[in-house]
Structure 1
Amino acid sequence: MTETFSQSCSSLFLKICESTLGILAILTSFTFILNFVPASFLHKYGHYFHPLLIGIVIIAILGGLVYAHLWHEKENAGAVNSGIRHAVLQGVIRYWLAYSISVYGFAKILKTQLQSPEFNLDIPLGELSGFALTWYYFGYSYTLAVILALFQVGGSILLLFRRTTLIGVMVLLPVMVNIVLINMFYQIAAGAFFNSVIYTISLTFLLLLDFQKLKTAFWDLVEKLPRVSDKSGLLKNALRVVVIAAAFCTIQYYVVTAKTDTVLKGTWKVEKLIKNNHPLGPVAWLTDSKAWNKVYFAGWNGCAFSPNPYRYKADESLTGSYEFDSLKNNIRFVHPSPSYADKRMDTLVISVRNRTPKSMQLHFVMNHDTIEMQLARLR
């Protein structure tokens, strides 16, 4: 074991990676002071933060290359104890990761992270940024936030001990990969994205240091149970393909057979509503629940007629499922009957006229009321 480790320590590439990450850890540690400066300072000088991060990365890479080259030359000359240097640098990386990641864990527990400002709650869902959506989604359940925090803090504690470093890495790496993807595709702040990337790279580096252990544990060890297959293994391989193919075909069957509307799907504004040959005014919805102002066609998620022009609430709206027949130009709308106690469903046939991609007219009779609606597509 000692011989194997000393051989791996002679790799210049290992030294470059280790030195770069070690310098990066030291330099980024100085940025933690920003957590304690007044908010006014960050607002005034925050625009310098991105160039600072880029500068730190450049210095770490250049410093890592220079330090690793000098170290490698001294090692070849027998003038340096590489084992101690590896231990120190890996220790710096482990302790830096433990502090950095556990900070995010405690932020979730102490509710300084994943807390949405009150004004976000009054923004329409479709107008929220990816950052606001993510914060509200993960902050909706404090229990989930604590569970995520326990993984981050627990994994960080494991990093502080050499014997449990590999376990800590295996706990934290899936969490950090998930956070990187969220930060990338939901447009989370650049600083958070930068941190998540370098933490993930550093954890991956620590994981690969034990590549031989992982290969032995997950690849080389042979299961002791007897084989249940033909000698060639063709039957078992075919069964493996069938299992995955069956999963795909299950959903594909639903997609093909489900009657999904793609023509009407979207949000429509009611520009004109006529009930029993009497036009309804723009504020009629305040006293008449059938004075609809918006119609939502959402495919297999159903359909909703909403009286409120400013926001949608299910208990105020007429909701149900629908099927659109493009040949007959009509909609079969199935909705709960007015008497909810009997739990029956009513079917309403709606005639669609003068349909274009941007507008259409709906005509139907509901509870002895003749309804005519002129719709314009919003989105």
Structure 2
Amino acid sequence: MTGGLAVYRLCRYFSAAVLLFYGFAKINGAQFTVLDSELDKPMGKVSGFWLTWHYFGFSPVFGAVIALGQIVLALLLCWRRTTLLASCIGLGMMTVILLIDVTYGVDFQGTAMASLTAASLGFIVAQHRGELLRLFWTERMAEQPPTPRSRRVAKAAALTALLATAGAGSYWIANENNRLPTPLDGAWSVTGGRYQSPGTDQPLDKVYFERNRAYMAVFRFGDQSAQHHFEVDPSTKTLKIWEHWLHKSDPIFAGTYKFRGDDHLLIEGHFNRSGSPAQLELTRAPSTR
């Protein structure tokens, strides 16, 4: 037995063992479970690791499918005929897992194990590089006749137009459709004054003028919240709010706003067309970005 073959076998069975372990860990509840103390945190304060763990564990079906896939790949690695197939699929899976581990701050032990498994599968795939090169490149090139220059130019122009359209379109959606910056954008806590909407159990305690959703304001009343439509005129310092986002048929507030420094905001006006004026003092909440 040569040294290369020994390493090849070691990589096969090591990768199979790791995939089996993590596959059954998901089925038995050792992975994708979240602490109650983490579930009680505001999303903006949750670490990348627990956010990822909660996301993947939110759907039991998703976790079961991933677990089943890992178990099947582990078994396929144990047969020579299916080793290359399992290694190619497994390498893609482990590369994505490793990317998540690194970028979301998963613990060192999990990241190290994902790195070793990805490296082992990469070693197996590398031993078959000649076969893969022939399958995906050499034979394909031999089968295809040379492409005329005019066709290559036309294809390059079409791809360039597609890239430009996709880039410009998504930029417009993000910066013109989704966002319409206003001086009020951000999260604010109500620190003075009182407003309670009909149908709510508690008074208004948080106001969100959403930066990433043009015209959207969210009022939070304890555990309850409501989305509203708002518009601001910075030249006159006026603020208007309507009952439903993107609909201006039911106004609930009309008045003015005034800043006291960068983090304090005073809103004065009338809620729900009431005759008596209302005044709210808002303090900017710490950024969670």
Pair in the same fold by TM > 0.5: yes
The alpha-carbon distance between structure 1 residues 354 and 231, as it changes in their structure 2 partners (threshold 3 A), is closer
The alpha-carbon distance between structure 1 residues 290 and 273, as it changes in their structure 2 partners (threshold 3 A), is farther
d(CA) in 1 for partners of 2:239 and 2:148?
A: 54
Question: What are the Cα deviations for residues 265-310 of structure 1, in whole angstroms up to 9, with x where unaligned?
Answer: 22211111156xxxxxxxx89x9757312112222432212222xx
Does residue 241 (structure 1) correspond to residue 160 (structure 2)? The answer is yes
Contact 2:242 2:248 in 1 (8 A): no
SS at match of 2:231: strand
What residue is the counterpart of 2:258 in the other structure?
A: 353
Does residue 367 (structure 1) correspond to residue 279 (structure 2)? The answer is no
SS at match of 2:250: strand
**Which one of the candidate residues 289, 305, 308 is aligned to 2:219?**
305
Alpha-carbon offset, residue 232 of structure 1: 5.7
Alpha-carbon offset, residue 191 of structure 1: 0.5
If asked which structure has higher relative contact order (CA below 8 Å, sep 6+), I would say 2
SS at match of 2:242: strand
d(CA) in 2 for partners of 1:195 and 1:269?
A: 44
d(CA) in 1 for partners of 2:149 and 2:26?
A: 53
d(CA) in 1 for partners of 2:182 and 2:93?
A: 37
Q: TM-score, normalised by structure 2?
A: 0.85
Q: Which structure's CA Rg is the greater one?
A: 1
Q: TM-score, normalised by structure 1?
A: 0.66
What residue is the counterpart of 1:66 in the other structure?
A: none
d(CA) in 2 for partners of 1:254 and 1:98?
A: 45
Structure 1 consecutive aligned stretches of length 4 or more whose deviation exceeds 3 Å: 223-232, 287-290, 347-350
Does residue 324 (structure 1) correspond to residue 223 (structure 2)? The answer is no
SS at match of 1:174: helix
d(CA) in 1 for partners of 2:24 and 2:48?
A: 23
Alpha-carbon offset, residue 345 of structure 1: 4.4
**Which one of the candidate residues 189, 206, 211 is aligned to 1:294?**
206
Higher helix proportion? 1
What residue is the counterpart of 2:61 in the other structure?
A: 143
The alpha-carbon distance between structure 1 residues 194 and 263, as it changes in their structure 2 partners (threshold 3 A), is farther
Contact 1:229 1:236 in 2 (8 A): no
Alignment gaps of 5+ in structure 1: 1-80, 276-283, 338-342
SS at match of 1:180: helix
**Which one of the candidate residues 33, 37, 46 is aligned to 1:128?**
46
Alpha-carbon offset, residue 328 of structure 1: 2.9
- Over aligned residue pairs, what C-alpha RMSD do you find? 2.7
Q: How many residues align?
A: 277
Does residue 263 (structure 1) correspond to residue 183 (structure 2)? The answer is yes
Contact 1:98 1:160 in 2 (8 A): yes
Of the structure 1 ranges 212-221 and 192-201, higher mean CA displacement relative to structure 2 is found in 212-221
Percentage of identical aligned residues: 25
